[in-house]
Amino acid sequence: MASSNDRGAAMRQKVDTRLVTAGRDTKAQHGFVNPPVVHGSTVLYPTADDLHAHRGEFQYGRHGTPTTKALQETLMALEGPQCAGVGLAPSGLAAISTALLAVLKAGDHLLVCDNVYRPTRNFCNGLLARYGVETSYFDPLIGTGIEQLLKPNTRAVLVEAPGSQSFEMPDIPAIASVAHAHGALVIDDNTWATPLYHRSLELGVDISIQAATKYIGGHSDIMFGTISANAKAWPLVAEGIRLLGVCAGPDDVFLALRGLRTLSVRLAQHHRSGLEMARWLSARPEVIRVLHPALESDPGHAIWKRDFTGASGLFSIVLQPKPQKAVDALLDTLKLFGMGYSWGGFESLAIPFDCNEYRTATKWAPGGPTLRLHIGLENVEDLKADLEHGFATFNAA
């Protein structure tokens, strides 16, 4: 198997092999398959000379441990050769805020797509505004039209492909080529597809972020975030992480690595079941639209097909116009679909949402009440039966 420092040879393997073999230093792990969970702050130096020289692979718990090293190496193997480094954060939102603080300064302008994760917007409008960074929002379908919005002080463009409620698909290569021509960095929230299905660093993104709380963890049992950067952006990101003191707890680091080992098989099943449920829902009379870029009928399908190799289990549906109490009756009837935030675990979820509560650059008029579904690893026939019961109460309400 690949030794931890043999990155070139490892990169020639297929990605699902790399997910299994990367970051495993069998000798240092005393033969065990998995790394130890190192709970540690102080690292002792054997001599004063070693101390003065900061000699040794690990110097202080916050800067890294054998456990974080195993996870970072595996994430780098997943991202591919463009990845110069991966930072770890205690949540997906912390990964986003850390990346933004690392690259921006007072007086800068930031462009953010209007379908962005809502707490990201709150961070930009709140803390970043207080620190003298101006944020403006753009239509996710803007493409090269972003040229008109770039200012001399635009330092970064943040995209999310697709948006995790409304699923519009931005053209990342088009946005990146214009942003780079103006000297701006491109940041992508790649939580939906993960680097397994969307090679964002290869498509021109400089910093690729994941809420590892979702598919990397995969079991709804951790909060975690990752920041992958190319050679241009990594020095800034690494400095930001160091200055801010961002680090993640060892048990969560271990669980993130454990989740990563099985990401490929889990995501393949989420893709299959998600698409099957999306097609089934498209044919239901209660559903007027399914927002899922892997469906041929979706407006983002051509971009999805060009830039993605798979889809996850998260998509939305627009229901026939009915009062909220009919939607609530549907939700209250569901047994397999739980109601709750987050997604990416093994379980199916359903939540209502309304993008009008926060959008500023685009109009959101779906034509009916909207639900976001996460298709978990349950059997799809059971999930269909659960939704059929829900639709019966929706129709009766």
Ligand X SMILES: *Cc1c(COP(=O)(O)O)cnc(C)c1O
- Does the footprint of ligand X cover residue 91 (CB under 6 A)? yes
Phi then psi dihedrals of residue 284, to 5 deg: -80, 135
- Catalytic hit among 24, 108, 114, 117: 117
Phi-psi region of 183 (alpha: psi -120 to 50; beta: other; left: phi over 0): left
Q: How far is the CB of 223 from ligand X (least distance, A)?
A: 5
189 touches ligand X (CB under 6 A):
yes
139 is catalytic: no
Task: Give min distance, CB of 323 to ligand X, in A.
Answer: 28
Q: Which helix (H) or strand (E) holds 396?
A: helix 380-396
Give the footprint of ligand X on residues 92-121 (CB under 6 A): 92-93, 117
Binding part of the chain for ligand X, among 24-32, 58-66, 211-219, 352-360 by CB under 6 A, reads: 211-219
Task: Please answer whether residues 34 and 250 qualify as being in contact, where contact means their C-beta atoms are separated by less than 8 angstroms.
Answer: no
Which residue, 189 or 206, has its beta carbon nearer to ligand X?
189
Query: Side chain identity at 150, as an amino acid letter?
Result: L
Residue matched to tokens 């495993």: 24
- Which residue reads 């002080």 in tokens? 153
- 190 touches ligand X (CB under 6 A): no
Determine, following the binding rule CB under 6 A, whether residue 208 of this chain makes contact with ligand X.
no
Among 87, 170, 225, 369, binds ligand X (CB under 6 A): 225
Applying CB under 6 A, the site for ligand X has a residue count of 14
Which is nearer to ligand X, 240 or 345 (by Cβ)?
A: 345
Name the maximum alpha-carbon separation found in the chain.
78
Nearer to ligand X, 154 or 208 (CB): 208
Stretch of residues binding ligand X (CB under 6 A), selected from 30-38, 65-73, 207-215, 371-379:
207-215
* Selection from 108, 75, 109, 68 nearest residue 90 by Cα: 68
- Binding to ligand X (CB under 6 A) within 26-65 occurs at none
Catalytic-role residue among 18, 199, 214, 266: 214
Question: How would you class 320 by CB atoms within 10 Å of its CB: exposed for 0-12, middle for 13-18, buried for 19 or more?
Answer: middle
Report how far residue 327's alpha carbon sits from residue 320's, in angstroms, rounded to the nearest whole number: 10
Which residue lies nearer to ligand X by CB, 91 or 200? 91
Residue 360, Cβ neighbours under 10 Å: how many? Answer: 10
Q: Does 164 bind ligand X (CB under 6 A)?
A: yes
Residue 289 or 372 with smaller CB distance to ligand X = 372
Please, which residue, 188 or 386, has the CB nearer to ligand X? 188
- Least Å distance, CB 209 to ligand X, is 7
CB of 2 to ligand X, least distance (A): 29
Cβ proximity to ligand X: between 66 and 300 the closer is: 300
Give the residue from 211, 254, 263, 214 showing the smallest Cα distance to 16. 263
Write down the least CB distance from residue 91 to ligand X, Å: 3
Residue 252 among the catalytic residues = no
Look-up: residue for tokens 């209502």?
352
Q: What are phi and psi for residue 318, nearest 5 degrees? A: -105, 125
Backbone dihedral region for residue 31 (phi beyond 0: left; psi -120 to 50: alpha; all else: beta): left
The one among 154, 165, 191, 312 contacting ligand X by CB under 6 A: 191
- Of positions 68, 115, 166, 213, contacts ligand X by CB under 6 A: 213
What is the spatial distance between Cα 394 and Cα 294, in angstroms, rounded to a whole number?
27
Give the CA dihedral 316, 200, 15, 248, nearest 10 degrees. -80
Q: Going residue by residue from 339 to 358, which x/- string records binding to ligand X, judged by CB under 6 A?
A: ---x----------------
Rounded Cα distance, 159 and 208, in Å: 10
Is residue 117 among the annotated active site residues? yes
Helices (H), 223-336: 234-244, 250-261, 263-282, 301-307, 324-333
The question of whether 62 is a catalytic residue gets the answer: yes
Of 66, 62, 121, 76, nearest to 244 (Cα)? 62
We find the least distance from the C-beta atom of residue 193 to ligand X, in angstroms, to be 11
Nearer to ligand X, 108 or 189 (CB): 189
Q: Write down the catalytic residue from 189, 252, 298, 307.
A: 189
For the chain, how many residues are written?
397
**From 7, 25, 45, 62, active-site residue:** 62
Residues at the contact surface with ligand X, assessed by CB under 6 A: 91-93, 117, 160, 164, 189, 191, 211, 213-214, 223, 225, 342
The residues carrying an active-site annotation are 62, 117, 189, 214
